[in-house]
Amino acid sequence: VNLTFIQSRPTGAELGSYHFLIDVEGHISDARIGDALMGLKRICEDVRFLGSYPRADKYATEIIRGRSDKDFADASSWLTAVRNGNLT
């Protein structure tokens, strides 16, 4: 996931405790963005999703090989097959 903005702000709760704000290239409906958000939710105490909006410049996001929605779907299908005993 390509971060286009990251900012840390102290929470005021205790020393070393911060809030992070991020902007990323992509949309919540993209598998790679969903996967990244699930990863954050697993390890962060609190995750707040503020929204998902189209790019203002209208250019398509460049997706690196292996990170498209089809690649995520193929990997998920492969894992399901392996879990079901199909090791090919």
The domain segmentation of the chain, as residue ranges, is: 3-61
Task: Give me the chain's average pLDDT, please.
Answer: 90
Q: Kindly tell me if the per-residue pLDDT of 57 is higher than 90.
A: no
- Under the banding of pLDDT at 50, 70 and 90, the label for residue 43 is very high
E strand residue ranges, 1-88: 3-10, 18-24
Specify the higher pLDDT residue, 13 or 64.
Answer: 13
Please say whether the dihedral angle defined by the alpha carbons of residues 76, 77, 83 and 88, taken in this order, is positive or negative: negative
Residue 5 is predicted with a pLDDT of: 95
70 sits in the region (left: phi over 0; alpha: psi -120 to 50; else beta) called alpha
pLDDT in tens, 11-25: 999 999 999 999 999
- Interior angle at CA 41, CA 39 and CA 43, nearest 5: 75
